[in-house]
């Protein structure tokens, strides 16, 4: 089948050469380097590979999976092989989500340029595609997936196989009727538009049709007034509904005549429901909508632990890719563990373990390059310094020379501040958090630079200020570390301005001896204990000083704790192992999805009030409880859990979870729908009562029911309670990993809000799965307990 995007795809000599195919070397490690024949398919949207030209090919990736293409010198792996392969002949394909990068080496610089330029051209094209083009693209992908012999036609046998791949359990006679109806040419096969018609017959949504006909007088279209009624009654748009209706018709009605007459057809209505305007996430929360001029300690800050690791804490790989991925997902606090390295160059790795090592200067270069690609707001470099005096000087030099004007090395105005600066004031600045020899007051009082302290003097100055997060795995290594206490170099100390690391002893000690620009780190166990024993004191501590919480050293598998309980106490930097997917990272992504994904979220006012009486373990009035009614209506095109079993069909159920203060944390789920992952219908209502909605996160999870064992995860979507849009919203793509993701149409009141994203499932381009809900919020009186 010719691509439905044919005629709209860019015409380019590079693409024509890519469609002929190229033999390149695929590189996974220093020892794994194998020749593979890569070819851009005729649809222009997928790349397949084989062991050799003319060999049996299989899909490699879809263009929609690709985030960007990097030159060879930007790849750690290819740089390590520079003596074997010229960097100019190498390039890296970077994918969305957690999928590993693909490093390739062409036979010439010219071939490498052809693929780099051609792929980037296609990536830019996909990024600019409208909703219809995205739909056409994944239809073409599905056709190629089902067309087993790649002859451009689909027989009924191939269609039956495709139905199983698409999670459709259908009576064979009914499927054959739909096949014959779509086979307009009566050739016994489906091509091009015939396949599109077959797909449309599969995706009819009676529950959406019922909603449409509820407001349409003739069942064929919605007039302007009828659409306004829908927006007011179902989507709770209020007074802006009239102006909004005109905008939406102009944007989503496919026919020009419909736009001129200001009417919305069923196709236009569906396009609206599945667009970003129909998303459950309130669009007013997508851009920067919060006050960014408050002191830094008034915000939650997206934070990473052991950022350099892309695996476990014992033998995992250290890579600058960890920093790149964290920064590109909006992380604003990264951790760097620095140790003495060979040839006088500091290295970054997890000390006293078998994790690999990377040059500190490479880490700094990556941070400088990627710090502000996603967010302009400040990046905090949490420096864990284990180096000798001499290599600390190298650290200071690299930070100063590589980061240049990005590095904040003095107060903003040269005067002593009375509070921490705001994210707005610190735009595009990188701050160092670490140990410091002197107070900020002493630094500013010095009219000229003093001669460097002798090592013995510096050690005495630092004696009472030593702070370290446990890197060791045993008491013996801990004792050894105490005996070899590092000495702080003045040039490195001077780069710590607003974030001086100090040891925490007690809340009373902090109030009496510490200053607002000093910050303490807490292990997860210590922070949990403090919340339980002195929750309100912890809240008050976090109204004037920054706190960082980090995972236990016993989490050698790089697992995570639940960050919610620390956010409940107002802790700003709750550091997670961002390389590890799971519930904890789902919550982190959900919280920081708002405010343009800037990595900064303003804390609720009761966590910023210096007189606050809030206790995260015992929340009481004046909080106003709310009741949430969620009607889980239907879903569409949920992916398979096990792609290797073509005959298996999922039995999906939906679980809705609330995370917040302890009394609010709860979950409910629907019943499962047997053998239907393509268009399951639930029509069930769930009810939640929440005491402190300002701290609540909603997580929607789709699972495949299994009576013999634990239900299998299909996908999820998490968002803050305060960012939920009432009405008939659709959930955006459910996702945890690129291998398991889907669209869910869930509605917090009436029906529909689903954005036009497409997702990859185990490397395959997937149709826009969706889950439809209804959600309503009701005020409710808080009750005791």
Q: Annotated catalytic sites, by residue?
A: 305, 350
3-state secondary structure 547-599: EEEECCCCCCCCCCCCCHHHHCCCCCEEEECCCCCCHHHHHHHHHCCCHHHCC
Q: 407: which DSSP letter?
A: B
Taking the C-alpha atoms of residue 754 and residue 616, their distance in angstroms, rounded to an integer, is: 34
3-state secondary structure 20-66: HCEEEEEECCCCCEEEEEEEECCCCCEEEEECCCCCCCEEEEEHHHE
Whether the Cβ atoms of residue 298 and residue 608 lie closer than 8 Å to each other: yes
b/e for 11-49, b at 16 or more Cβ within 10 A?
A: eeebbebbeebbebbbbeeeeeeeebbbbbbbbbbbbbb
| Cα end-to-end distance, the chain, whole Å | 63
Taking the C-alpha atoms of residue 704 and residue 64, their distance in angstroms, rounded to an integer, is: 26
Taking the C-alpha atoms of residue 57 and residue 47, their distance in angstroms, rounded to an integer, is: 10
Taking the C-alpha atoms of residue 736 and residue 586, their distance in angstroms, rounded to an integer, is: 7
Whether the Cβ atoms of residue 328 and residue 595 lie closer than 8 Å to each other: no
Taking the C-alpha atoms of residue 431 and residue 530, their distance in angstroms, rounded to an integer, is: 28
Taking the C-alpha atoms of residue 571 and residue 301, their distance in angstroms, rounded to an integer, is: 9
DSSP string, 265-297: EHHHHHHHHTSGGGBSB-GGGSS--S---S-GG
Question: Among positive and negative, which fits the CA dihedral 252, 681, 738, 330?
Answer: positive
Taking the C-alpha atoms of residue 582 and residue 558, their distance in angstroms, rounded to an integer, is: 11
Number of Cβ within 10 Å of residue 634's Cβ equals 24
Task: Give the CA distances from residue 697 to residues 58, 169, 227, 466, in Å, rounded to whole numbers and listed in that order.
Answer: 41, 34, 31, 37
Kind and range of the H or E run holding 519: strand 518-523
Residues with Cβ < 8 Å from 336, sequence gap 6 or more? Answer: 307, 308, 348, 360, 363, 381, 382, 383, 384
């Amino acid at each position: 089948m010719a691509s439905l995007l044919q005629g709209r795809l860019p015409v380019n000599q590079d693409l024509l050469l890519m469609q002929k195919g190229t033999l390149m070397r695929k590189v996974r490690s220093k020892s794994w380097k194998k020749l593979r024949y890569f070819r851009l398919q005729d649809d222009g949207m997928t790349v397949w590979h084989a062991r050799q030209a003319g060999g049996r090919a299989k899909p490699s990736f879809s263009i929609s999976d690709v985030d960007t293409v990097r030159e060879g010198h930007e790849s750690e792996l290819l740089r390590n092989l520079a003596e074997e392969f010229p960097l100019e002949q190498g390039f890296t394909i970077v994918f969305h989500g957690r999928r590993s990068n693909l490093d390739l080496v062409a036979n010439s610089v010219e071939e490498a340029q052809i693929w780099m330029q051609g792929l980037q051209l296609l990536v830019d094209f996909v990024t600019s595609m409208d909703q219809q083009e995205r739909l056409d693209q994944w239809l073409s992908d599905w056709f190629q997936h089902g067309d087993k012999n790649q002859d451009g036609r689909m027989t009924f046998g191939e269609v039956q196989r495709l139905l199983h791949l698409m999670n459709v359990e259908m009576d064979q006679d009914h499927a054959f009727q739909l096949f014959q109806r779509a086979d307009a040419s009566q050739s016994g096969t489906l091509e091009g538009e015939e396949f599109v018609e077959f797909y449309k017959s599969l995706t009819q949504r009676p529950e959406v049709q019922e909603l449409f006909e509820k407001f349409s007088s003739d069942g064929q279209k919605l007039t302007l007034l009828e659409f306004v009624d829908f927006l007011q009654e179902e989507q709770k748009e209020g007074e802006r509904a009239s102006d909004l209706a005109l905008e939406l018709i102009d944007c989503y009605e496919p026919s020009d005549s419909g736009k001129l007459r200001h009417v919305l057809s069923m196709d236009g209505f569906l396009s609206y429901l599945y667009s970003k305007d129909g998303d459950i996430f309130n669009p007013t929360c997508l851009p920067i909508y919060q006050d960014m001029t408050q002191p830094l300690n008034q915000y939650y800050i997206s934070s990473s632990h052991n950022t350099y690791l892309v695996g476990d804490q014992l033998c995992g790989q250290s890579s600058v890719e960890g920093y790149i991925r964290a920064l590109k997902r909006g992380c604003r606090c990264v951790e760097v563990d620095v140790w003495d390295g060979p040839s006088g160059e500091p290295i970054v790795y997890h000390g006293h373990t078998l994790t690999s090592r990377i040059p500190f200067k490479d880490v700094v270069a990556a941070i400088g390059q990627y710090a502000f690609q996603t967010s302009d707001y400040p990046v905090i470099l949490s420096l864990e310094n284990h180096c000798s005096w001499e290599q600390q000087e190298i650290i200071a030099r690299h930070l100063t020379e590589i980061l240049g004007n990005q590095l904040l090395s003095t107060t903003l105005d040269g005067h002593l501040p009375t509070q921490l600066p705001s994210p707005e004031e610190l735009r595009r600045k990188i701050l160092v958090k670490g140990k410091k020899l002197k107070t900020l007051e002493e630094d500013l009082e010095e009219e000229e630079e003093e001669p460097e302290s002798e090592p013995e003097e510096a050690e005495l100055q630092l004696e009472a200020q030593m702070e370290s997060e446990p890197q060791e795995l045993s008491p013996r290594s801990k004792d050894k570390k105490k005996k070899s206490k590092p000495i702080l170099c003045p040039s490195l100390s001077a780069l710590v301005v607003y974030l001086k690391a100090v040891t925490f002893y007690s809340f009373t000690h902090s109030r009496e001896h510490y200053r607002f620009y000093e910050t303490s780190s807490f292990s997860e166990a210590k922070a949990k204990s403090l919340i339980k024993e002195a929750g309100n004191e912890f809240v008050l501590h976090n109204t004037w000083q920054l706190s960082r919480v980090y995972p236990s050293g016993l989490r050698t598998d790089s697992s995570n704790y639940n960050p919610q309980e620390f956010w409940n106490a107002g802790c700003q930097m709750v550091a997670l192992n961002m390389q590890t997917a799971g519930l904890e990272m789902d919550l982190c992504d959900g919280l920081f999805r708002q405010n343009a994904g800037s990595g900064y979220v303003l804390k609720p006012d009761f966590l910023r009030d210096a007189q606050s009486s809030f206790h995260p373990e015992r929340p009481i009035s004046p909080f106003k409880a709310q009741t949430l009614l969620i009607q889980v209506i239907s879903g569409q095109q949920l992916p398979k859990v096990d792609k290797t079993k073509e005959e298996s069909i999922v039995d999906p159920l939906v679980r809705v979870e609330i995370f917040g203060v302890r009394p609010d944390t709860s979950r409910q789920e629907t019943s499962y729908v047997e053998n239907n992952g393509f268009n399951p219908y639930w029509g069930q209502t769930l009810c939640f009562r929440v005491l402190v909605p300002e701290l609540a996160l909603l997580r929607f999870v789709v699972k495949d029911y299994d009576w013999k064992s634990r239900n299998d995860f299909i996908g999820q979507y998490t968002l803050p309670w305060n960012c939920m849009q009432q009405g008939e919203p659709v959930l955006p793509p459910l996702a945890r990993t690129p291998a398991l993701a889907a669209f869910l149409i869930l509605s917090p009141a009436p029906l529909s809000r689903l954005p036009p994203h497409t997702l990859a499932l185990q490397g395959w381009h997937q149709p826009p799965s969706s889950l439809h809900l209804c959600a309503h919020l009701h005020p409710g009186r808080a009750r005791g307990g």
